[in-house]
Structure 1
């Protein structure tokens, strides 16, 4: 064959085969529209910057070696970072177009002269973590859809002409680290941000009014100066009592006195009913049965053994086992201080409709709904050998040690055979459901998974430190016990429910292989080290997206075997690989997980050490997104001509 044909063939293949862009054609067209709007139709600039739908912003082009200026895919196949600072942009911001890039995590348009407003379509940038538009001419209000960006870590809208009030839900972006809005025309009250997490905050030189929220002594007067109507710490201007409150104080006093009178009448009526009831013949003790859909009293003779009613066939059981007689007294239910339930009585639980959510070897979980729209989750445990005094002491101690990422019980009930724990119902489900069930369009990318790992590690480390002396660990940590609150922040549920006959007894619902691995081969026993093992398995779920146990498959054993064969990359969830998650940082988190599931419990790190390691990975991730140099940033300025 002619030697020239050998060279011609590959070139022909390159032109004949369709070129595979890393981004969808629709995304590329939308990004070009975004740049056209920003540059006010200046096609020359767009051409000079290489924003061409026929060029691949991530992989370059067979005929052209450059990339789109200001765009970085961060070694992935999708646009993840757009930085157009000081580009002399004079147009408007087309959020609908730029947000078609579904993997976008950084958008920076600082120090241009962009005008107009931020459209509501900004909510479609679901993975966006860093949003910088300072030093422009933006105006109008911050859209009420902005707080829907739950992954945001940094917001800089300073030095613009924004006006109106900040959305009330802004404070629900609970993972926010930076909020800079100085030198605008914003008004109204400052939302109650989670200042315990914020590292940078500035709203100086606006028109904010009213009291300043509790900033946890983290920010000084400079962050709030230039707002004449603001008051309270850290400013020297004290807040005055409300005039409205003074004006209506007499009316309030009248209402209070009236309330006392009504309360006294109600108490007298209840006392009279009690005396009448007391004189009636005593009825047989009633047992309490939770039937499918409703908790009810079942009048039966007292029996020392409990029975469970079942539905026919192969269907799941729908009723809680009959509990000990005498459980009808509302005084048996201990209600802990909580804003969730006030005045909850045991009779309320009995009367409210209940739905069975799950049943395990040692207990069941029910969703209980009340007429006032309150929804609670009731955990019922049987076979838990602990005295009433120890049980009460344990629950009260857990309630005292509060962490925002640990779900506390709001009430509990004790009897010899039955224990009930009452929690606020979390409607966004569990980590297990998010990883292995239908996500319903929810984004669960690498950044979100890393945030879950860091949050749970920090919360567990805090609980271990505070409850070390009492020996109260979780004992049953798994992905089904990690729930998501209304802001989609993770929280640990069912903390400290594992105790039997004076000794911690973990794994009420775990497999035998899990128990064996968690306890370790050297026989060392500590429920705190068992928690570390359980957390390590949760990390493996986050990294692999695989079930812990499935038809003989054991996740921890499988990961060990893959790593041993030096095929580490095969461990990671394909969804993470396709989004371009950093393999380096995934490997770092995998190394933490492997330390946690060490066969020797004594060799496992403490949760405090684990939290530090994961936060280091998280900080590296944040640093890489913000400061990693744009690959090919200047390549288009001097294109190759060969």
Structure 2
């Protein structure tokens, strides 16, 4: 009895101990997963079911447990949208066999040695953002591991040598990372390995003979690395290989003949290496091959006849090699082949007829030495019921004959390129039956006749290229039914007649080249509605009349419309009755008596005294008289000012803050405060305190009694200024205008012969000096960053929009009138001063702001066009281009004058963007912002005022252009 009682007590104690130890063990899985979750961000709430109060995690989403032990066996969270780091909580899952976190946003390094989990068989961390090297000891205890994938991450450094410890490994995928250096030698001893994918890394070295140890290997992918040397003969020992991809490396030498031992192989990809030699008959032994890619190597010799024995072949690409001779006729046996690319070789003979008889989808024979007529080859297959041809490229050969009308029977054709041959005859009308065709290139042949009207039936066309032939007749209006067309290239033919209005229906058009033809008539006005145009070349035709008025045509390159003697518009530098002339340009280097003489390089060398010339001469004479008149007035003003200024005492008595009408003392009005001028009145007489001079007067800096600096503008238009009552009314209106990007007007001083405007003082100088003259402490020119420039552009736009909302036109916007404060913010000055004049005569006004060289809108030169806010938009556009390029609006050379708008427009049209951008910004600007900003500047400088956006629209456009990420990126670079 005593013995029995002892046994019962022992069993009871064992049960209690078992229960107590079992509960904490179950809690390990809950605790581990909760700790793992704490390091993650779960924006989609996929882990909402993970509750730390649960006794078991087996019902949690993504978690699977072993039904016997009730322990977590699988954790599969693929595509959960998780971010954050992979924490150590996973190390609590002692019975985990599969861990898959693929296709998430996890980052950081692998700080957890997962291989220490003794039960783990599968690790899949692919498709995340993990980075850094894999720890050298990561694989030291990975004997149980069967499959690991680290693909599509940012891992770097060497692949650890400890990988050789994974003796049971069957699948290894480290593709699409940044692994570098040599492969660990132990990798070739993983006898159980079935799949090896190391593609798209920076690995180097050679494939060793030890590859024969991978006798269980089914696929090997080493694509896109830096491997070198020859492929060893021992690869033939891997007899189970189904797929071999060694493409995009630097392998050299001949292909080993032992490859014929890979009788199960269905994919050979060796493209883009340095292989040489011939491909001999051994390839015919690989009877299961489906895809063969030997392209972009240096193979030579004939294409082996035995390739016709590979009846399973679906795709053959031997392009860009040195193969010669003819393709073997035995390939007619390859009835399953779908794609054949033999382009860029030295193949000779006729275009083989059998290629059109075996149901091919893609036929590419371009850039060879084929001769003879294409008629027989193309017509040999018209009765084949399984006609599947989609791509036919036989360009750049020496083929001749006519294009047969049977081409219309290839109803599945999407891509047809027969360019750069010696084809003759007309384009068959049946081309219009190709409803699926989206690319057609028949350029650089000897085709004649007209473009068939039936071409409109090819409604899927995106690219139509018929250039450099002898085509004549009209461009058919049916082209308008090809609604998907993006490129229309018909240059260098003998086409005549008018450009059809139906082209305006092609809303997706981007590239049009109709140059070097005999086209007549005017350009259809609706073409201006083609908003996606990038290039429109109609040069060297016989077109006449004016260019369409639209965003693209307002900035079209002059070279795109050259060679049309009777075409007019800004782009050809020839005025039309309804098109305004070029901007007024004053040449300070001119030696003539006319200050508005246009440089000789902008005029025709022959001077014809036509009616327009006489009008121009009369206008010039009128301007000269106006300038002489203004000059006399200015002399009188300066004389009067000198007398008035001399009467101002250095004390503050005359600058009483209480209004007075005493003409001897003058009237001082401050809009806020009660300043004491006693310490600064002398500034008006001190040349050293002068800040600058503009069209409306000189500006001086002075200090108030409270120590605050102000800027005082001494107006030089006294004799033109309105009466005191009108003057004060207008100035008080200006004093009520407040905006962060406008210089605040703080007060004024009045006498009949002297008027002063008192502004806030802006310490950073003007934008002109920052762009063209500024120097830092080391004597180098100051360099505004792109973000600083963009903010300046945006600030100017906001200030101008505010003024226009108040119906105030600036008239004199230029870089010297934009001040920069201590925080780098722009402040526009001199706004509203034109309202102080008795009348807004544009010639008087233009003479007062003639320092705004290149900023003046063209309507200043045309009396019949109303001056509106759009003249400010023009000046803003020029200012934008000046800020981006760092160049002045007009620059005079020894024998030329460069107008900034025209220079930028031409450079953008010709793809020379880098030439436009300020050299101080090179490599430190986001092109996705700079280029649209330049285009916005060009739109704002449209010759036609109605085509310019208003400033509110400009602000919206700038908001769409700005990328939030670029600012932080630039700050990181500068830091």
TM-score, scaled to structure 2: 0.30
Higher relative contact order (CA 8 A, sep 6+): 1
TM-score by length of 1: 0.45
Larger Rg: 2
